[in-house]
Structure 1
Amino acid sequence: MLLLTNDVLVARQRTAQLYHKIREGHALPPLESRRVFYIDLEAIVIASDEKSIFEGNLRQTFSQAVDSGNIILYFENIATAIRSAQTLGVDLVDILSPYFESPEIQIVFAELSENYNKQLSHESRLAQAFDVIQMKDVGMSGIIDLLQQRALMRERRTSVVFTIPALEKIADVADRYFPTGVMPDKAFDLLEELVTYASAENVEQILAVHVESFVSKKTNVPIGEPTEEEKQKLLSLEDVMHKRVVAQESAVSAVAKALRRARSGIANSKKPLGTFLFLGPTGVGKTETAKALAEVLFDDEEAMTRLDMSEFQAENAVEELIGFADTGKSGRLEALVRQRQYGVLLLDEFEKADKGVHDLFLQILDEGYFTDATGTSVNMRNLIIIATSNAGADLIWELEKQHKDISEEKRVLVDHIISHGLFRPELLNRFDEIVVFHALQMEHVQEIAKIHIMNFAKRIAEEKNITIAVTDELVDYVASKGYDPQFGGRPLERAIMEELEQVIADEMLKGTLHSGDTFTFKKSSEIPSSE
């Protein structure tokens, strides 16, 4: 049997359903004694150094299955496996052909419809041996039916009762909040964990709220209605973010409003939590806004993961992100999402990425997932995705010279970007919000300088017990050294290092500044000093 699908997970779901029916005694008589095994052909290729070893391993696997007489072998991504075997000089179909007609074994191949049409439809040996079936998604209702059967069995053994809303919630959250594994297996596993939880907590009836609470603790993802604390955090998002992000009121407001829509449940749950394109010149606070958002929403700046999109300009850029089918090597995006499925994903310098990468994110922004090199869906619906770009920076400068409000000139800026071929209209339309950052003026840089100096002063006080007097004179001096109209506030860190950190380090080494002392900046002929 050759199963065709738009998502290999669908075939895996159906095979998993068959496995569970057999194990629980609900299969029809011809299948009731069968055993189902998943064979990873890619892994066998990778583990084999040469042709003879691969052929030997493969024949041994099939011979054992034939000898057992009750085996169903399930394979995925057969087109990729055929190509990988060819690298060893092996005709995979030729080796497997003797087993296709064996009555002692049943073989199921699963393949993406697109791959079959492009690579396998011409393969007569497969067409003659297999019934080709186009599959449809099992659907949430089918998974809930299976959960009901499983829940009834557990109720008889443990007296733990699941309500229908609880089972519906299990199906929903297992699919959304657990990035690895397949449905319905993920839902079954969650149900079993909830049985254990209910027994330990003396809970006799599992409600939807129990499911939400359990999954939230397990994944560290807020699920269900926002708590009062979270509501206040969302409602005051602008004020809290402005403690780190200077100016850019329109940008911060746009982000905050979009996130409140997402968390309130109004936004489309099939998409990421929020998707934004930050446009603006260098050093105006685009990355700082993303960091501030991570810190405010997730209480941890490390909740932001950054990808430098200038690294994905080559022809194999998409494979670098989603993985390599021929070698089995995981992609960087896949690995990042599996490591941190809830947080902020920053796509820095997005305009520099290959057009194929833009196409990949076209799907991600629209549907909240992508398919990796193995045909497995990777869930990105629990992420806030922020792409930054300097596209249109020159126009922003020109508009500001004309004293125009940048936030009101967004349409002009977007048309400029499209006309120059930097982004396609369909990609721009997929973002929840295009956020424009204006250039920083001297007064803004002074505010940023004060924030950086205060943070530095706090660190020195904690680590060295030295107090830094943060005066207007110090702030103005560092801001003047760190301001560059072209690079915004980016040179500030270097200015603080050269004009403040270095002076303190020198004073400490000379023995003129000690633990318990206060450092006061004084400007004399542009040379800072301490007392």
Structure 2
Amino acid sequence: MSLLAEYTQDLTKVVAANPEQYQTIGRDQEIEQLVETLCRKNKRNPLVIAPPGVGKTNLIEGLAKRIVTQQVPPELQNQPIYVLELAQLKQSDQNFMGLFKALLTELQASQAMVFIDEIHTIVGTGSDGDNALDVSNVLKPALARGEITLIGATTTKEYHHYLEKDGALARRFDVIQLAEPSVPASYQILAGLKASYETYHHLTIEANATKTAVDYAVRYLPDRFLPDKAFDLLDESCAYAKAHALQTVTPVTVAKVIEQRKHIPLHQIMKDRQAQLNDVQRLLNQNIKGQPQAIQGVLDALTLYFAGFQDPTKPISSFLFLGMPGTGKTETAKQLALAMFGSPDALIRFDMSEYNDQDAVHRLLGTAEAGGTLTEAVKQQPFAIVLLDEIEKGSHDVQDLFLQVLQDGILHDSDDQPISFKNTIIIMTTNLAAKVVNDQQQFNHLRQGEQRQLQFKAVVEKALKNEFRPEFVNRIEHKIIFNMLDEKIGLAIATKYLTEFKATLAQRQLKVDFSPEVAQYLATVGFDMTNGARPIAYMLNAKIKAALARVLLQQDATQATKYHYLVRVVGRWPGVFQGQKDRFGDLKVIIEAR
């Protein structure tokens, strides 16, 4: 048996035996480039470089099929393409370099073409401590004299890292760049191969399921390339259908596979874009009190995304939320995570005060010893809100890092692997205006109305210009100002907190009601213009929850569920008492069990 028969595979024979299984769709131009290179007098060694999963091997199969069907010039007709795997040679008991040289001699005698996938592996293979001669050095003379025709394939990264550095080797090849197919081209590719998947899996694939596989692969698998990721998704959907005794693969089947892999609720994947925007509006209006302008600003920004006007290479949107503490900035981010990505846990939160040192960027991107806090989080959860709390406290280097995210939609981690942010929403918050407002006495008498909000907006814009560099501020797409709250909004927030608390208690089979004055009590004694809703939440914990907890702990669990509790407030309300302004009055919380 010849070495070629033992250690290589004749691709043209394989294709000829089952031609319908080998289809190369949408690559006619690239196959023509291969044919033209192979017909040259010199340098007839094509090297296909492309990202992984784009279809390098499939391109060579397309060439083999053209040879089989005689759709090539006469000098290429009946020419075999031998596929050589160096790993198979290394597994032999014989001396590797001796075996390779003998195989090379047979190739020269046969004048056949040889294809080596992952051709960058020829650099260094075969050398040892005593002998620096490797496969690439053995090949160079034969390539230079045109004694063999070598077809290679490798990724762009590995070409630059291995082959391009060896100029004598690189110039023996004619490089053919293979680009990732477009989405419309990928539709055609999957439609053309649909029958082969149906035959293998013994089921039916709806035509729109192949289109859905491409669409979802683009949206939910951003770290991989078409068409490979769409093939994998379609194949996995077929396997899912078989495992669940389904006879047909539909778009819902594809969505269920994405739900399993990415932990995104099915209804979120299948939801109409207008319905999703309506969900955002409903949740924000329901949970964010006193910020109609801010809510509308967020909705306007997301409308651009849902209408398809957003740059697909950049994050879904980027925001800078400005305002006083406790005005709803972080809560807005939480509600967006729920509305956009189906879970409040789809929130990656960073306290920027922890990233103001020299090593901050390294901690975000990672080092050789440990992954980055930012890159690993987005890699694990590519569909999320990235919340940067108090961005002004981060170092300038950190701000420059996020400037790159906003501009390119991508970061490279410590291993130089690209991390895509195009399925994230970047939200930065700042409390810059708080110090200015606290220091300026004119806000003390501007307690209500449009005048206070206009002056507050001017203060915020001035603070923004003073703190951040223009190139950073200008890169953020949407600046949303959260207004200062007033007592009326404080009452609405207190009512919301009590409603949520009551619902939580009901889940534990506890029947609790709050008299109307309880919300007023929280709003009156807890409201603080400079700290927003936070003091109200504190007063709820300190005065209401703590008092109720003491009552419940005095009873065992079974007794507690038998009673109906009423929480009331009694005593003197805040106001003027004995000629002095009395903020807290003499109020007490009492709890009655009935």
Partner SS state of residue 415, structure 2:
coil
Partner SS state of residue 448, structure 1:
helix
Letter in 1 for 2:304: R
Partner SS state of residue 422, structure 2:
coil
1:351-390 correspondence to structure 2 within 5 Å: 351-390=392-431
Letter in 2 for 1:517: H
Checking the alignment, whether the CA contact within 8 Å between 1:22 and 1:33 is kept in structure 2 is no
Equivalents in 1 of 2:131, 2:530: separation in Å? 64
In the alignment, is residue 446 of structure 1 matched against residue 485 of structure 2? no
Query: What's the offset of the Cα at 1:31?
Result: 6.1
Equivalents in 2 of 1:437, 1:191: separation in Å? 45
| Matching residue within 273, 283, 288 for 1:245 | 288
1:217-296 correspondence to structure 2 within 5 Å: 218-219=258-259, 220=264, 226-227=271-272, 231-232=274-275, 234-235=277-278, 237-296=280-339
Equivalents in 2 of 1:124, 1:171: separation in Å? 33
Distance change in 2, residues 1:97/1:438 (3 Å): farther
Name the counterpart of 2:567.
520
Equivalents in 1 of 2:361, 2:514: separation in Å? 51
Q: Deviations over 1:230-284 (max 9, x none)?
A: 6356336445423221101111111122223322434333333332211112111
Relative contact order (alpha carbons < 8 A, sep ≥ 6): 1 or 2 greater? 1
Name the counterpart of 1:490.
534
Name the counterpart of 1:530.
591
Distance change in 2, residues 1:322/1:522 (3 Å): same
Partner SS state of residue 456, structure 1:
helix
Name the counterpart of 1:35.
85
1:454-465 correspondence to structure 2 within 5 Å: 454-463=499-508, 465=510
Distance change in 2, residues 1:95/1:496 (3 Å): farther
Equivalents in 1 of 2:58, 2:536: separation in Å? 61
> Structure 1: which 5+ runs fail to align?
38-61, 79-91
Query: What's the offset of the Cα at 1:436?
Result: 0.4
Partner SS state of residue 444, structure 1:
helix
In the alignment, is residue 335 of structure 1 matched against residue 371 of structure 2? no
Distance change in 2, residues 1:124/1:490 (3 Å): same
Equivalents in 1 of 2:366, 2:223: separation in Å? 15
Name the counterpart of 1:17.
56
Equivalents in 2 of 1:19, 1:348: separation in Å? 48
Distance change in 2, residues 1:462/1:169 (3 Å): closer
Partner SS state of residue 305, structure 1:
strand
Distance change in 2, residues 1:31/1:508 (3 Å): same
Query: What's the offset of the Cα at 1:434?
Result: 0.8
Query: What's the offset of the Cα at 1:433?
Result: 1.6
Name the counterpart of 1:89.
none
Q: Deviations over 1:18-53 (max 9, x none)?
A: 37746996699786413388xxxxxxxxxxxxxxxx
Q: TM-score with structure 1 length normalisation?
A: 0.71
Q: Deviations over 1:280-309 (max 9, x none)?
A: 121111011112233344553223332223
Equivalents in 2 of 1:223, 1:302: separation in Å? 14
Letter in 1 for 2:137: E
Partner SS state of residue 312, structure 2:
coil
Partner SS state of residue 235, structure 2:
helix
Equivalents in 2 of 1:421, 1:4: separation in Å? 50
Letter in 1 for 2:519: V
In the alignment, is residue 101 of structure 1 matched against residue 137 of structure 2? yes
Distance change in 2, residues 1:377/1:406 (3 Å): farther
Name the counterpart of 1:47.
none
| Matching residue within 214, 232, 236 for 1:189 | 232
Query: What's the offset of the Cα at 1:490?
Result: 1.4
Compute the RMSD of aligned alpha carbons. 4.9
Equivalents in 2 of 1:293, 1:134: separation in Å? 45
Distance change in 2, residues 1:17/1:274 (3 Å): same
| Matching residue within 441, 447, 468 for 1:422 | 468
Percent identity, please: 23
Equivalents in 1 of 2:186, 2:232: separation in Å? 13
Equivalents in 1 of 2:179, 2:415: separation in Å? 18
Equivalents in 2 of 1:108, 1:527: separation in Å? 79
Partner SS state of residue 218, structure 2:
helix
Checking the alignment, whether the CA contact within 8 Å between 1:160 and 1:198 is kept in structure 2 is no
Checking the alignment, whether the CA contact within 8 Å between 2:48 and 2:152 is kept in structure 1 is no
Checking the alignment, whether the CA contact within 8 Å between 1:216 and 1:222 is kept in structure 2 is no
Equivalents in 2 of 1:125, 1:471: separation in Å? 77
Letter in 1 for 2:139: P
1:133-144 correspondence to structure 2 within 5 Å: 137-140=179-182
> Structure 2: which 5+ runs fail to align?
1-44, 68-78, 88-95, 104-114, 141-149, 572-585
Letter in 1 for 2:526: G
Letter in 2 for 1:422: F
Query: What's the offset of the Cα at 1:4?
Result: 13
Query: What's the offset of the Cα at 1:198?
Result: 7.6
Name the counterpart of 1:49.
none
Letter in 1 for 2:501: F
Name the counterpart of 1:57.
none
In the alignment, is residue 477 of structure 1 matched against residue 521 of structure 2? yes
Distance change in 2, residues 1:126/1:310 (3 Å): farther
Query: What's the offset of the Cα at 1:497?
Result: 1.8
Distance change in 2, residues 1:433/1:528 (3 Å): same
Q: After the TM superposition, which of the residue ranges 193-202 and 481-490 deviates more from structure 2?
A: 193-202
| Matching residue within 367, 386, 405 for 1:345 | 386
Query: What's the offset of the Cα at 1:338?
Result: 3.3
Name the counterpart of 1:391.
432
Equivalents in 2 of 1:292, 1:355: separation in Å? 29
Distance change in 2, residues 1:150/1:466 (3 Å): closer
Equivalents in 1 of 2:129, 2:526: separation in Å? 66
Checking the alignment, whether the CA contact within 8 Å between 2:404 and 2:410 is kept in structure 1 is yes
Q: Deviations over 1:501-523 (max 9, x none)?
A: 22222333455994413233233
Letter in 1 for 2:496: I
Query: What's the offset of the Cα at 1:315?
Result: 3.0
Equivalents in 2 of 1:359, 1:336: separation in Å? 19
Equivalents in 1 of 2:321, 2:337: separation in Å? 15
Equivalents in 2 of 1:421, 1:97: separation in Å? 60
Distance change in 2, residues 1:124/1:365 (3 Å): closer
Distance change in 2, residues 1:367/1:236 (3 Å): same
When the two structures are aligned, how many residues end up with a matched partner? 473
Partner SS state of residue 243, structure 1:
helix
Q: TM-score with structure 2 length normalisation?
A: 0.64
Partner SS state of residue 521, structure 1:
strand
Name the counterpart of 2:10.
none
Name the counterpart of 2:549.
505
Partner SS state of residue 277, structure 1:
strand
Q: Deviations over 1:412-461 (max 9, x none)?
A: 7445423x242443x33333321001222233222222221222233234
